[in-house]
Chain A
Amino acid sequence: MSAAQGFRLRLRAQPDFRVDLSPLQPAVLAGRDVGEVARLELRHANAHVELGELFDVDALPSEAPELRIEGDLRRFDRIGQGMDGGRLSVTGEVGDYLGAAMRAGEIVVDGSAGHLAACEMAGGRLEVLGDVGDFAAGALPGSMDGMRGGTLVVRGNAGARFGDRMRRGTVLLLGDAGDFCASRMVAGTIALAGRVGAHCGYGMRRGTLVFGGSAPDVPATFAETSHDIRVMWALLSRSLGKLHPAFEGRPARAPRRVVGDLAADGKGEWLIAG
């Protein structure tokens, strides 16, 4: 069999336990043949399973590293974890840790993702067409910093603690966010087109939340500023508009700005444009 740059994996059978798919990275698989890929061992609970036992593997006529995975992957975790290039697309639901700590490349999921999607993501682009669970763009358990670079676009809703401890990067959430959105946020930008749950911005130190949809209730630990922010708003809104049409055409009107969380230095800001 000849080597290929891209592969398509079609789920043939659901595993009995959860499977770690972190070894499946487009750039790592590129240059291998179908047989080699099918013999890759994946962690399956506390044992291993060959990829070929779960998936049908085909080569794709790609010129660049690419991986397409099809099927209901809710029992498959860590898809694209640590990814450093190439393109990975999934048609179906996926498990936890989607794109965790990815550094480069692009992941697109046509479905929803479990918890901790894009946690500690450092670069590249991750788009989820469905929902994401709790702690998306947040930190791994025990870690001090959440997402630290790259771009995350979620077209559906997000669970609790969205962007918890986020440090850098840009996030677009087109649906609603759960409780404690942007809690303990250190820096970066989160643009929200929907509603947020309770305690948004709890302990937020720096960073920017852009509310393009309904205006949130402003907590007592946030204070309004009234100065002219049209310059920064022009830069930011143009950038967000390029990422998604929901934020296009915003530069014309400067948003209302509140800063906080005053209980945590107060240098975070909410730009309420909706």
Chain B
Amino acid sequence: MSAQAETTSGAAEQVVVRNGVSIDPTFAEAFPMKATRVLITAHNDIWARNAAVAMTGFATSVIACGCEAGIERMLSPDETPDGRPGVAVLLFSMSGKELAKQLERRVGQCVLTCPTTAVYAGLDDGEAVALGKNLRFFGDGWQISKMIDGKRYWRVPVMDGEFVAQETTAVMKAVGGGNLLLLARDTDAALAGAEAAVEAMRAVPGVIMPFPGGVVRSGSKVGSKYASLMASTNDAFCPALIPLAKKTELDAGTRCVMEIVIDGLTEADVSAAMRAGIEAIVARGGDAGVTRISAGNYGGKLGPFHFHLHKLLGAEASI
């Protein structure tokens, strides 16, 4: 890859180099989604996490999982409604209806079933969707409703006592599909850089990185030569295809690329997370092996949210 990169409009823009890391003059393109936050508490943080991990399993991409979900952060007892340790979980989907379906299934199968847990709404404002509203029927008539401070809770008798679930949670408009592409000299360097970036991004509230460990190695493009597939491998960023693909974004020194996908409750949250990720890579320096940062987009025609890497860095004026 040269020091020049083509923008989507065809105009040439300069690459910014920071501490030996090149940052492409491009942007990540993201889409509107619907999101909710739920708070899971339990007897201790181990069981709260067990429930959250189960609930956010198989939720890497809306392409086939129905939703994208992840642990936002752990909660200390003084941050939860019932004073126990907890976990904040974010769920994103393409529609409020699908989100409601996924939420009910996942809470029903993964939180209701997990010892000692309780589940609460993590958002106050927005359209209400069922949380414990329908799960209460598991109680077979023994369930009890309790209104406390204007919020309705359901108490379902279970074998370890009772499962407490707030009746509804709120759904808000959100942003999905922010992303960073980390181009590295080899697998070790790519993994180490991606891990550092994800760790920094996890400190940002309101976002999740839904893929395993926050990282995806199978970045995709829209469409495929096979009519039945809606997405296929991002050949322009596959090192194996440098000499073969019609168009490649890589040079011969790039032998491994990792992508970090970010879903956030707001555009500002996604921006903050992407900025944190870029800064973490830059702080490590190009010598650590991640030599270039890029981002995926569809020419700016599909998603209304454009996260320009240089703007995130505040680098436009210093090129």
Which residues in A have some Cβ–Cβ distance to B below 8 Å? 168-169, 187-189, 206, 208, 227-232, 234-236, 238-239, 242, 251, 267, 269
Contact = CB atoms under 8 A, between A and B. Distances in A.
Interface string B61-92: 00000000000000000000111100000000
Interface in B114-167: 118, 142, 144-149, 153, 155, 157, 160-162, 164
Given A232-B153, A235-B153, A168 B83 contact: no
B82 A231 contact: yes
Given A187-B145, A208-B146, A235 B161 contact: no
5 contacts: A189-B148, A227-B161, A232-B146, A232-B155, A234-B82
Given A234-B83, A251-B83, A228 B148 contact: no
Nearest to A233: B82
A231 B149 contact: no
Contact of A234 (B84, B147, B157, B160): B84
B86 to A, nearest CB: 11
A137 to B, nearest CB: 15
A267 B82 contact: no
Contacts of B82: 230-231, 234-235
Contact of B84 (A208, A229, A231): A231
A231 B163 CA distance: 9
A228 B160 contact: yes
Contacts of A232: 146, 153, 155, 162, 164
Contact of A239 (B83, B148, B157, B164): B148
A57 to B, nearest CB: 36
Contacts of B147: 168-169, 187-189
Contact of B162 (A231, A238, A251, A267): A231
Contacts of A189: 146-148
A132 B178 CA distance: 61
A168 B82 CA distance: 22
A267 B144 contact: yes
Contacts of B164: 231-232, 235
Contacts of B118: 231
B161 A229 contact: yes
Contacts of B83: 234, 238, 251
B148 A236 contact: yes
A187 B148 CA distance: 12
A195 to B, nearest CB: 25
Nearest to A168: B147
Nearest to A259: B144
A106 B142 CA distance: 36
A169 B149 CA distance: 9
Q: Which of A227, A228, A232, A251 has the most CB of B within 10 A?
A: A232
Contacts of A227: 157, 161-162
A187 B146 CA distance: 8
Contacts of B161: 227-229, 231
Q: Which of A230, A235, A267 has the most CB of B within 10 A?
A: A235
A236 B201 CA distance: 36
A119 to B, nearest CB: 19
A246 B263 CA distance: 45
A230 B83 CA distance: 10
Contacts of B84: 231, 234
Q: Which of B81, B83, B153, B160 has the most CB of A within 10 A?
A: B83
A239 B149 CA distance: 7
Nearest to A267: B144
Contacts of B155: 232
Give 5 closest A-B pairs by Cβ, nearest first.
Answer: A228-B161, A234-B82, A227-B161, A231-B164, A239-B148
Nearest to B77: A234
A232 B147 CA distance: 11
A1 to B, nearest CB: 40
